[in-house]
Amino acid sequence: MTAQNKRFLNMVLGIPLLLAIPFVAMRFSGEVNWTLGDFIVAGGLLLGLALVIEAILRVVIQRRHRILLFVVVFVLFVLLWAELAVGVFGTPFGGS
């Protein structure tokens, strides 16, 4: 397995670890109330982020351009996550 494939595999395997944080938090706090749809959407967003990061790392050679693209992608990711978190677009899975 090449180093690039190992890096991508590590990113993909990290997604369930990140999703475990709200899953465990739901057991100890009433403040966190995720539905199955929330986990699916969050997993999709994180997988998309991992794919874009991997594409940038494989295609873009100049370090300055990589950093700029990482910042743009991360800002867009955080903005989308925040919009979904506050429910501006509504809940697509019928949750309240």
In sequence order, what DSSP letters do the residues of 18-59 get, joined into one string? HHHHHHHHHHH-SS----HHHHHHHHHHHHHHHHHHHHHHHH
pLDDT in tens, the chain (96 residues): 788 889 899 999 999 999 999 999 999 988 888 889 999 999 999 999 999 999 999 999 999 999 999 999 999 999 999 888 886 555 555 555
Structure tokens at 76: 């867009």
Do residues 15 and 43 make contact, with C-beta atoms less than 8 angstroms apart? yes
Residue spans per domain, the chain:
3-86
pTM of the model: 0.82
DSSP at 62: S
Taking alpha carbons only, the member of 72, 56, 78 closest to residue 11 is 56
Structure tokens at 38: 């929330």
